[in-house]
Amino acid sequence: MAAGDQQPPQPQNERIATTPKWMATRATAVNILFWFELLGLAIGAAQFFVAPAIITDRRVAVASLALVLIVATLTRVLPRFKQQLWERCTCEIVALLAMATGLVYATGGIHSPMQTLFLLPLAGAAISLGRRGYTAIVVATIIAGIGVAATTFDSALDRSALAVWLIGSLAPVLIATTAISVLVEHMQGAERYIQDLSASDTLTGLLNQRAFEEALAREHRKGERHGRPYCVLVVDVENMAQINSTLGHEAGNQLIVAVSNAIARSIRATDVAARFGGDEFAVLLTDTDLNNATTVGARIRSHVHVGSISIGNRLIRANVHLGLACFPKDRRGYKELLALADQRMQHDREQHRRAEAS
């Protein structure tokens, strides 16, 4: 492995690292949708007390409000929706769209003063569903608008007037919510980029210790819930202190990058690799038992050993020490498993030193 080839690997763990932030963003959207639902219910209910004369179909108006109330209640009570936030947002937005359509129809349709209610589902979709989800709600809103207009169309008006009504009613709402959708997408992209920077080791591009432990905690919860095995592998580079003192820290850095590349080549895309600082790495092997994890460890050791870097006129080859702990075999919590893997790595290092001394 020549020195010129030492490029930090791209973080294969980006999806794992960013998931919690996206869940937090969608949880915020759920709270916003709650206020949208309250607003829609308040506006609809107010018509019965403030301007009952504009309600031409009381049954449709009541059914529209009842639908939002039922959906909002169910999505907050049923356990399924506590984790499936995308489904929860989708159900509530569809209910908001049905409510807006029903209230517009029940208050005059093409002559309704409540046409701006279409802003609620569109804004909710722009905030919480992403580009594809928002586009689907836009199409559904246009169809709903055409349906309302067609069923309440005044024969005294010509078709051009109907087209003008559709454009005048929906176009401002669509333009405003499209701007919201684009803004939210850019904000989420910036958030993911910042999080990737904070979760990655700057030298190697692997995760740092904090991000690795978060991923390990999530995998442990999955293992406990579904009985899925996983293993933790701790990797320590041999004689790094000696290399830094004799050849300089730049040589040490190149060797660290070479080892990180070897680790990245040895694991699957679903596994998680991290640098803990200095000369120590950790690997989370998902859905892996002891036998397969042992094979991965041997592969890492081999890839590290056959690789080399050139410093001046010297060719440096690295060796590593390994420690392995597995769930559920070792029957520990995730922090204890990580500590156990580190202890076994230290034991491997001591055995290697005793073998060299004898």
Give the pLDDT confidence score for residue 25 in this predicted structure.
Answer: 59
- Note whether 293 and 285 are within 8 A (CB): yes
Q: How far apart are CA 122 and CA 136, in angstroms?
A: 10
pLDDT beneath 70, residues of the chain: 1-27, 153-162, 165, 190-199, 308, 311-312
Say whether 237 sits in a helix, a strand or coil: strand
Q: Please report, as a single letter, which amino acid is at residue 243.
A: I
In 3-state terms the chain splits into helix, strand, coil percentages (rounded to 5) of 70, 10, 20
Domain with CATH 3.30.70.270 in the chain: 204-357
Task: Considering only the C-alpha atoms of the chain, give the largest distance between any 2 of them, rounded to a whole number of Å.
Answer: 104
- List the beta strands (DSSP E) in the chain: 230-237, 272-277, 280-286, 308-311, 314-317, 320-327
Closest to 317 in 3D by CA, of 265, 358, 356, 262: 262
Closest to 276 in 3D by CA, of 238, 309, 234: 234
Give the pLDDT confidence score for residue 283 in this predicted structure.
Answer: 95
Closest to 232 in 3D by CA, of 307, 343, 318, 351: 343
Q: Please report, as a single letter, which amino acid is at residue 165.
A: W
Strand partners, 13: none
Helices of type H across 12-78:
14-50, 58-77
DSSP letter for 229, please.
-
DSSP characters over 247-313: H-HHHHHHHHHHHHHHHHHHS-TTSEEEEEETTEEEEEEET--HHHHHHHHHHHHHHHHH-EEEETT
* C-alpha distance across the termini of the chain, in Å: 31
Q: How far apart are CA 208 and CA 271, in angstroms?
A: 14
Instruction: Tell me if the domain spanning 204-357 has CATH number 3.30.930.10.
Output: no
Q: Pairing mode, if any, of strands 314-317 and 308-311?
A: antiparallel
Instruction: Please state, as a whole number, how many other Cβ atoms lie within 10 Å of the Cβ of residue 202.
Output: 9
